[in-house]
Amino acid sequence: MSYTGPGFDPPQPRRPRRGPLTVALAALVPGALLGWAVYAAVGGSGGDEGPGSAAASPSASPSASASPRTSSPAPSAGSGGGKPGASAAASGPLVGKVVVIDPGHNPGNFEHTAEINRQVDIGTNRKECDTTGTSTDDGYAEAEFTLDVAHRMRALLEKQGATVKLTQDGDRPFGPCVDERARIGNEAKADAVVSIHADGSGAGNRGFHVILPGAVDAGAADTRAVVGPSGDLGTRIAGDFVRVTGSAPSNYVGDGTGLVTRKDLGGLNLSTVPKVFIECGNMRDSEDAALLTSGAWRQKAAQGISEGIVSFLRG
């Protein structure tokens, strides 16, 4: 998810204060952070350039190649994607739990700019329905990345017994709009919702970050009941993402914690169930792009996010 374009405001330049979630993350994943340090020292994926502010970047061109570097796993039988009535696996620790995965953007958004520019109510104000997302410099689109990771997560979580629904599965011409994405999770009475993204910041800005909902009570939005559980969900995902992928928390937002709180995203503002976004890396940085275009790394990303969800749901 690029911070440029409709519907996404850049983070403020001030460094966020370390609050309870920072402390919680530090307490939850000391081993994971140590593991990342060792991984980086021997030449892993967690190299860290100097900090910088999030920069705007152009969206991907629709004419650019959008195919993943490796094909995603085939959807598992009975998963149902985003359709109601998706069946859960017969057994496992997450039987009875509902997880909604929200693959950010849509490959068809490029061809439906009028539709995705339509204003929708996000509680605090009105914003565009959706954006096109970003891409790597050689044309691997964020919308393709998010679907691939979502499919991998669905397979992993269904093996744990969860009922998994997708907000979109490449089965619609554009969108859904951000308000509908939130409504899908709400109507499913999801136990956890995770929106998958990749960032479009400036070169040299590296690493992942998890976006948490801030306390909002305005218009149709009231996040106060889900701020706490969403913070727990996001903290667990951040910890497991570090541990499994070896990637470092963002060096340009989040003050090194991998956690950012925002009040301007409709998908969070309108959610009545625990929900977070994860920016898995920066598509406009060549080192992060090498990871994001690797099928093996995307499998690790899916595993790290999924294990954070499992940890949250099992308490």
Altogether, the residues listed in the chain come to a count of: 315
Q: Which residues are catalytic?
A: 279
For residue 259, the cross-strand partners are 210
Taking a C-beta distance cutoff of 8 angstroms, is the pair 62, 215 a contact?
no
Rounded Cα distance between 18 and 15, Å, is 9
262-300 burial, b if ≥16 CB within 10 A, otherwise e? bbbbbbbbbbbbbbbbbbbbbbbbebbbebbbbeebbbb
Three-state secondary structure call for residue 70: coil
**Bond before 176 cis per omega within 30 degrees:** yes
CB 64 within 8 A of CB 149: no
What ranges in the chain are assigned the alpha helix state H? 20-28, 30-41, 113-116, 142-159, 178-187, 227-245, 266-269, 286-292, 295-314
Q: Is 12 exposed, middle or buried (0-12, 13-18, 19+ CB in 10 A)?
A: exposed
Q: Which two tokens stand for residue 179?
A: 């308000």
In 10 A of CB 104, how many CB atoms? 28
User: In this structure, what token pair is assigned to residue 108?
Assistant: 């068809």
